[in-house]
Structure 1
Amino acid sequence: MQLSALYRYPLKSAQGEVLQQSSCGLLGLTGDRRWMLVERDSGRFLTQRAHPRMSQLSALYDAEGGLLLSAPGQDTLRVSIPGPDDDLRGVTLWRDTLRVPDAGDAAADWLSVFMGIAVRLVHVPEQRTRYLPAGYGENSDRVAFADGFPLLLIGQASLDDLVQRVGRPLTMQRFRPNLVVEGSAPFAEDGWKRIRIGTQTFRVLKPCTRCILTTIDPQTGERSADREPLTTLKTFRQKEGDVMFGQNLVADGEGVLEVGMPVTVLE
C-alpha cells in the first residue's frame, strides 16, 4: 500500500489543494483548516452544507504565509495572518466556543460580497486550538477548524467501490480527505487502529460521519438532485443512523508526508 494523494484545505469548506509533500503534526497537515468563515453577528461557523457557494471559493497560501483569496468575478485579495492575540472574536464551531483572531475588515468586506451575507474571516493559532470530541484520543490531541479531528483518510478502493455502486464518476475531492491510500481492499481502513506512513505513525480514532456536503459537486457547487452519493452510502454504510465513509486519524509526533510513501498497518 502507498500514500497516493495529499489534500489540504486552508479555509474550512473552501476549495482544497493537491499537495505532493507536506509536513504533518499535532494539527494534521501544516496549514490545514486554520481559517474559517463565521456569521458577523453570531460568530457561528459557515460551511458548504448551508452555503454551497463556498465550493467556488479559493483560499491558498502564498510564499509569505498569507492567504490568497480568489473567486469568480472578484479580484484576488491577500490576507495577512493576524497575531495570536489580535482582535479576538468569539466564534462557535459545533459545540465548541472559542476566541480567535479576526483577519480584518478588508477580508470581511471581500468575503461578504462573495457570500451575499455579512461574514468575518478568522484564523486559529496553535495556542488557541480545540480538544478532540470527548472520548476520543489523548489529552494532548488537538484540532484546528476541522469538524472534529485533524486528519481524514480514505482508501482509493473504497471510492472505486462506491463509484461502481452509484453508477457515475465521483471525485475524491467531494469527500474532502487529507490522505488517500492506494493498494488496500475496499473499506479495509475500517479495521485499522494504527498505521505508519513513511516513518510517521498515526492512530485511527473513528469512522467519519458523512452529511449532505457529499452531494455537492466541488467543480460546479451544485447539489445532486438524487442526493448521491449519500443515497447509495445509506444502503450499505449506515450504522445507528449515521453514514460512514473514511476514517479520522491523529498523528503521533512530527513528520513529513510525501505521495508515494509506503503505508503499513501496525494494528
Structure 2
Amino acid sequence: MPSDISAVISRLYVYPVKSCAGVQVQDVILTETGLEFDRAWMVVDDKGHFLTQRELPRMALIKPQLRHSDMVLRAPGMLALHIALDQVEEPVRVQVWKDEVQAYDMGAIAAQWFTDFLGQPARLVRFDPEHKRVCSLQWTGGVEALNQFSDGYPLLVISEASLAQFNEKMVAAGSAPVGMERFRPNIVLGDAPGDQELAPHDEDRIELLQIATEQGVVELKPVKPCPRCPIPNIDPATATSSPEVGDMLQTYRQDARVNGALTFGMNLIVLAGVDHQLKVGQAAGASYLFE
C-alpha cells in the first residue's frame, strides 16, 4: 500500500438514523453507499422534509442499537422502539436537502414514538435501495458515487491527530475537551504501531485511502472537505448547545476550498471494496495529493 502515510482504523461509527446518536462498532460491511445501515433511516416532518439536530437538538439523545434482526431505539422517558431490519411499510417521497428521494414509511407506531419524543409531528422513513442518490459530480470528478440519507457523501474520515490538536486548542482556551462523537465520522484513523505519527488533518492531504481487509484492498477517495454546521456545538450526552466548538473552528479551520466554510474531516467515496468487511485495527495507507 502507499507509504506516505501509514495508519490503522482506530474507530468505526455507524449512524443508522440520520442525526440521531451513532453506534460505535468493531467491524462493519462496506457497501456502495457507505457503511452498512449508515443513514438508512431518517426522521421527517408531516410534509416529508428531513429533520436534524440543527432544529431539534433532542435528536442527539435518541440512541440506536443494531441487533441481528432489528434496530432498537431508546430515548429518555420513552419505551424502547423496535424496528425490524427486513420490513418496511408504505412507499413515500421525502426531501433531504435539495434531493427528493424514494423511501418507505416505517408505520404509525414509529411515527407516534418520534412525535411524542420530539414534540412535533414526525415520521420515520427508510431509504429505498432501488433509488440512486448520486453525490455531486462536481466534487467526485465525474465518478457516479452513491449515498443514502447522508448530507451528500457515503463516508467521513477524521484522524485521532486532528481531534487531539483541536482539544489542545480547546484546553488552552479554557474550554473542556470534546469527544470524537461531536464530529460524527464513520472512519477514524490512528497511528500505526512503529510508524511515523499522523499529523493533524493528514486526511485533508491524501489522494487515495487504501485499507487492507481479509477480502482484499478497499479504495476510498477523499473528494470534499466537510463543512461544519452547528451540530458539533451540541453535546451528544445532554443535547445542550454552546458555541465553543464552532468558535474554536473559526480560529483556524476556514477552508478556501469551500469558500471559507469551517471544515473538519474529509468526505470519501467508494472506488473499490464493496462488500468487504472493515475492522478496527486494519492497516491503512495513503499517498499525499500533489496538485
Q: Is the TM-score greater than 0.5?
A: yes
Instruction: Name which of 186, 203, 220 aligns with 2:238.
Output: 220
| Contact persistence 1:12–1:33 (CA under 8 A) | yes
Distance 2:132 2:247 in 1: 34
**Secondary structure of the equivalent of 2:79?**
strand
Matching residue's letter, 1:175: F
C-alpha distance 262-253 of structure 1, shift in aligned 2 (>3 A)? closer
1:13 matched residue in structure 2: 19
The match for 2:3 is: none
Moved more, 128-137 or 163-172: 128-137
Q: What do residues 4-54 of structure 1 show as CA deviations (whole Å, max 9, x unaligned)?
A: 0000010001111111111112111111110000001x2110111111000
The CA deviation at 1:83 is 5.5
C-alpha contact 2:137 2:144 (8 A) present in aligned 1: no
Moved over 4 A (4+): 81-84
* Alpha-carbon distance, 1:109 to partner: 0.6
Partner deviation per Cα, 1:134-180 (whole Å, 9 max, x = no partner): 41324531000000001000011001001111112110001000000
In the alignment, the residues of structure 2 paired with residue 176 and residue 131 of structure 1 have an alpha-carbon distance, to the nearest angstrom, of 21
Take 1:70 and 1:191, find their aligned partners in 2: how far apart are those partners? 38
| Residue of structure 1 in register with 2:261 after alignment | 242
| Matched pairs, number | 262
User: 1:80 Cα shift?
Assistant: 2.6
Give the Cα–Cα distance (whole angstroms) in 1 for the partners of residues 9 and 273 of structure 2.
18
Match of 2:165 in 1: 161
User: Which of 91, 98, 101 is the matching residue for 1:95?
Assistant: 98
Contact 1:6 1:178 in 2 (8 A): yes
* Structure 1 SS opposite 2:168: helix
Q: For structure 1, which runs of at least 5 residues remain unmatched after alignment?
A: none
2:210 is aligned, of 185, 196, 199, to 196
Q: Give yes or no for contact 1:131–1:139 (8 Å, CA) kept in 2.
A: no
**Percent identity among equivalent residues?**
35
Shift of 1:67: 2.3
Indicate conservation of the 8 Å contact 1:81/1:103, yes or no.
no
Counterparts of 1:124-203 in structure 2, within 5 Å, are 124-137=127-140, 138-167=142-171, 168-183=176-191, 184-198=198-212, 199-203=217-221
Greater displacement, 66-75 / 26-35:
66-75
CA distance in 2, matches of 1:171, 1:129: 33
Write the distance in 1 (CA, Å) between the matches of 2:127 and 2:103: 6
Structure 2, unmatched stretches of 5+, are 1-6, 192-197
| Cα 1:83/1:20, change in 2 over 3 Å | closer
Give the superposed CA RMSD. 1.5
